[in-house]
Amino acid sequence: MLRSVQRLLVTADASKLSYLSARCYSVGTDFEAAQKNLKKLSEEPDVQMKLKIYSLFKQATQGDVTGSRPGMMDFAGRAKYDAWNGVKGTPKETAQQLYIDLVNSLIKEEEKLTAESQSNVEGLGGVNGLSISVEDNVFRIKLNRPEKFNALTWDMYRGITEALNFASKDKKTRVTVISAAGNYFCSGNDLSNFAVKRPEDVKELAEAGEKVLNAYVKAYIDHDKPLIGLINGPAIGISVTVLGLFDAVVASDKATFHTPFTSLGQSAEGCSSFTFPLLMGHAKAADVLLFGKKLSAHEALERNLVSEVVPDKTFAAEAEKRVFAYSQLPPESLRLNKVLVRDINRAALHKANDLECKLLVERWQSAECAAALQKFMTRKSK
Ligand code: COA
């Protein structure tokens, strides 16, 4: 790019010069507009995206990275340095254009999400990343953030909690279904939920996170209707651990089940410390919760985590058949039986939820967890 600009200047005739200055002017104004538009996003981009934006901004305004790489303990400074260093050699005008394209793509993505994330349920608002609907006797909660493999943001946690509590009391529906858009079921907790500007904010964020998580899992424990999970693809973290609180789990044979808590410096949630040993026996539960064994759909069936595995080709149709059949059963009998089955362990489940959340607040503030999150966030900028 730089060479072609120089060549143009050397051989410039009037039209080439005016084209060049018009183009530079246009990129310059678009660059300023992109900086303003970035501030208008309703949701802050995740850490990885912020690093991409940062690196392009620095390259566009200052050129190649200067100074030396910050030390080990300066996580944020080091990540920023690495990101900027990653675009070294990119001419300033190209970096400006890349910055503009990136901001425009974020704005488009947000517009698309807002359009797709809706609720047709009176009394329940829409939440980015979720589609909530009532169809016949069925209350549907669909994870709808496929570009991030349906990772759960704080808003999605709150939205699902509210939807489950609403569905529990809803007189029009008989069963509640949780499903997902795209190839993944859910990649678990959005790891940028714990991104903080200052290390001293971690404690506050962890305590706020505990409240959100506790209410989220409580909504599953106290859900008064049969809860059906349709697991279309890989499931990670909390999307796996809460499965012990469902009444039917239909999985595609392409689904996998992974809880890599230990390697992330975290600990189990979703009442899995109680439900998994009950479902699988202690050794097999430890295999999954402590040692992070990833289960295939058939292994999950063999360990009682799912109730049925269906070939991927016919998954959508077969799953809907089950949902239809369950939703035709007498509603009062369904609800009373659900409450009866849950009451046997309800108190123990609440206790497990409280203990798990308490431990997680500690784990989220640990150096092991910070290092694992840092590794994930910066994996693409190296
Ligand atoms: N939190 C935040 N973002 C996530 C995410 C998560 N849990 N899982 C996936 N994403 C995002 C990625 O950042 C990426 O976004 P980008 O395109 O804007 O960079 C996008 O989803 C696709 O993921 P990517 O990592 O590029 O795809 P992959 O096929 O190489 O790997 C996973 C997929 C799921 C294996 C990988 O993303 C991963 O390990 N995610 C973390 C899972 C996890 O540990 N969850 C918490 C359990 S406690």
Q: How far is residue 290's CA from residue 284's CA, in Å, rounded to a whole number? A: 10
DSSP 67: S
DSSP letters, 369-381, are HHHHHHHHHTTT-
- Please choose, from the candidates 309, 312, 304, the residue with its C-alpha nearest in 3D space to the C-alpha of residue 288: 304
What backbone phi and psi angles, to 5 degrees, belong to 11? -100, 20
Ligand 1: distance of its center to the CA of 2 in Å?
Answer: 36
Residue 24 pLDDT class (50, 70, 90 cuts): low
Higher-confidence position of 58 and 108: 58
Mean pLDDT of the chain: 90
Return the SS3 of 178: strand
Residue minimizing CA distance to atom 35 of ligand 1: 187
Residue owning the nearest CA to atom 6 of ligand 1 = 190
pLDDT, residue 38, reads 93
Ligand 1 center–CA 220 separation, angstroms: 25
Span 296-304, average pLDDT: 98
The pLDDT tens digits for 229-273 are: 999 999 999 999 999 999 999 999 999 999 999 999 999 999 999
Which contiguous run of DSSP H or E holds residue 33?
Answer: helix 14-40
Q: Is 235 helix (H, G, I), strand (E, B) or coil?
A: strand
- When pLDDT is cut at 50, 70 and 90, the band that residue 67 belongs to is very high
Q: Which of 149, 150, 263, 379 to mutate to test the pocket of ligand 1 (most atoms within 8 A of CB)?
A: 149
Tell me if 260 CB under 6 Å of ligand 1. yes
Quick: pLDDT tens for 347-372.
999 999 999 999 999 999 999 998 88
CB-based burial label for 3 (10 Å; 0-12, 13-18, 19+): exposed
Please state whether 150 falls in left (phi above 0), alpha (psi between -120 and 50) or beta. Answer: left
